[in-house]
Amino acid sequence: MSDPFFFTSPVGLTLGRIIEATGARAADGVDLERMVTGVQPLDRGGPGDLVFLDNAKYAKDLARTRATACLVSPKHAAEAPAGVVALVTPQPYHAFARVLALMFPAAVRPQSLFGAVGVAPGAVVHPTARLEENVIVDPLALVGPGAEIGSGTVICAGAVVGPSVRIGRDCAIGANASIQHALIGNRVIVHPGARIGQDGFGFAMGPTGHLKVPQIGRVIIQDDVEIGANTAIDRGANRDTVIGEGTKIDNLVMIAHNVVIGRHCVIVGQVGISGSTTLEDFVVLAGQAGLVGHVTIGMGAQVGAQAGVMNDVAPGARVLGSPARPGRQFFREVATLEKLAAKGDGHGDAGRQEDGRGG
């Protein structure tokens, strides 16, 4: 069996082109026409490869690399071995991402899984749907009545675009994703299996049963948003669910009805956000954080992994634990518990008595 590499034939770049794209600096006299033809981790770099050092933890690997060039911060630039061109930049990882996008453009967003051009055989596009030029629709994808899709967008195999949905230009809708009751901006990436615009979880509960509340809002997704695989974003109940410009959402995230998420937020895997909660701009929610409904997370706030947020969080605050509280308070409480546990004399005596070995 062959061993395929799924992103083949990278585009080779000269050092000069890399410097132009990243703003990095190289020492005087470096041959700017020297070619980079691949990328590797720092410890595996060889001739022709570009590597990067962004975390001081891996600085020891820099001295051993045989790569052609290394994107590196100023404090580590002098540690590059002879023969390795140090491309100095304050943000090596950001610079590496820019180079990857140039060398492997097919990896930037999902592509047609069928190599399709235009509407492939086996796709179903309703006659009243409107597709601009250069839209790709894979086999088994469905585009409903009145839907509109902008130029350069790809709808991958098995995806469903519901009636009257609007999708902007240069978007990618991954395999088996479903989109309904939604307006989507430009350059949005929706990964496979995501569910956007389905019913919110709304019931009028009572002692004789729970009455379903029709969900009549929409989902609004602004430009440059990325939504991970198997993430669910419910449409609004009586207003819109909104995802702000540039926000990045990981896999397996649940966003309930009427939630409003600001610009450039980062939401990590398995987060759950209850209905009518608001995230202001640049909020970070770490993995498995859970937020109750009707709270506001202030601009730039950070919520730690597995935190349980039950009240508003102030702008710029960092909270941890469940219930979530300020980081310093959380760590003081942990330290206090550790000190109490370390005393342990009485607990040890009680344990001996309980198992019959007491004196």
List residues with catalytic annotation: 257
Beta bridge mates, 274: none
| Residue in 337, 312, 333 with CA at minimum distance from that of residue 321 | 333
Helices (runs of H) and strands (runs of E) counted in the chain = 5, 38
CATH no. for 124-326: 2.160.10.10
Report d(CA 102, CA 120) in Å as an integer.
28
Q: Determine the pLDDT at residue 346.
A: 56
3-state secondary structure of 102: helix
* Angle at 56 (CA atoms; ends 53, 57), nearest 5 degrees: 105
Instruction: Please check whether residue 243 is in contact with residue 261, taking contact to mean a CB–CB distance below 8 angstroms.
Output: yes
φ/ψ region of 335 (left if φ > 0, alpha if ψ in -120 to 50, else beta) reads: alpha
pLDDT score, position 78: 94
Measured CA to CA, the distance from residue 246 to residue 273 in angstroms comes to 18
Tell me what pLDDT residue 359 has.
42
Distance in angstroms (rounded) separating the CA atoms of residues 324 and 168:
38
Instruction: For residue 17, give Cα distances in angstroms to 11, 50, 121, 139.
Output: 12, 13, 40, 38
Superfamily (CATH H level) for 13-107: MurE/MurF, N-terminal domain (3.40.1390.10)
Residue with tokens 């299996």: 193
Torsion of CA 312, 315, 317, 323, to 10 degrees: 10
For the chain, what are the domain ranges? Answer: 13-107, 124-326
* Distance from the first to the final alpha carbon of the chain: 69
What is the structure's pLDDT at 343? 84
**Would you state the pLDDT for residue 203?**
95
Query: What does each of the 359 residues of the chain score in pLDDT, given as a tens digit?
Result: 667 778 876 789 999 999 999 999 999 999 999 999 999 999 999 999 999 999 999 999 999 999 999 999 999 999 999 999 999 999 999 999 999 999 999 899 999 999 999 999 999 999 999 999 999 999 999 999 999 999 999 999 999 999 999 999 999 999 999 999 999 999 999 999 999 999 999 999 999 999 999 999 999 999 999 999 999 999 999 999 999 999 999 999 999 999 999 999 999 999 999 999 999 999 999 999 999 999 999 999 999 999 999 999 999 999 999 999 999 999 999 999 999 998 875 555 545 555 555 44
Topology agreement, domain 13-107 and domain 124-326: no
By 3-state DSSP, what share of the chain in percent is helix, strand and coil, each rounded to 5?
20, 25, 55
